[in-house]
Structure 1
């Protein structure tokens, strides 16, 4: 266990040295590549204004997303009414979607338990 701790410490030390040596250049390069997204002047007031714009824009988009959800739900209801005409491809896509949702649920549960697979260990 002590040897493993020393390995982790050595790796962390190497990463720190690399970041201290190359971090500034990477930061400058990143800002230069994405300067079209920087709002001038870069102040706290500008950040607060952009934050409010994002919040209220997302709030305004709820209505459109709700309408889209109900259209999708109506489409599914219509497919269920005409399930005799359902093709194998459509059923396969629906099954894969259900399996994917279940897998994400299981992954979320595992992450929520602190990456333990069985029980709770305090």
Structure 2
């Protein structure tokens, strides 16, 4: 355990040295590449204004998202009504989607708990 801690510490020291040497150049390069996205002058007031614009723009997009949701739901209802005509490829896609949902919710929960399993043991 102590050797792993020593390895981790040495890797952290190496990473911090790399950032100390190359961090400033990376920062300047990043700003130069993305200067079209920088609002001038970069003041606190401008940041607050942009934050409000983002919030209210997202708020204004809710009706469109709501409408899209119901269109998607109607499409799923249509497929469910005509499930006799369902091809094996469509069923495979649905199965993969279900597996992805399982991974996002269940496996993500396990990872969030630090890979610990809780519950009843038999």
Tell me the TM-score normalised to structure 1 length: 0.91
Calculate the aligned-residue CA RMSD, in Å: 1.3
CA distance in 1 between counterparts of 2:85 and 2:3 reads 64
> What does 1:1-122 align with in structure 2 at a 5 Å threshold?
1-113=1-113, 115-119=114-118
CA distance in 2 between counterparts of 1:119 and 1:74 reads 38
Structure 1, unaligned runs of 5 or more: none
Higher mean displacement: 82-91 or 58-67: 82-91
Name the SS for the 1:116 alignment partner: coil
**1:64-112, Cα deviation, whole Å (9 max, x unpaired):** 0110010010111111111111111111111111111111112221133
Name the SS for the 1:39 alignment partner: coil
Name the SS for the 2:116 alignment partner: coil
Structure 2, unaligned runs of 5 or more: none
**1:117: Cα distance to partner?**
3.1
In the comparison of the two structures, how many residue pairs are matched? 119
Tell me the TM-score normalised to structure 2 length: 0.91
CA distance in 1 between counterparts of 2:111 and 2:59 reads 29
- Which of structure 1's runs of 4+ aligned residues deviate more than 4 A? none
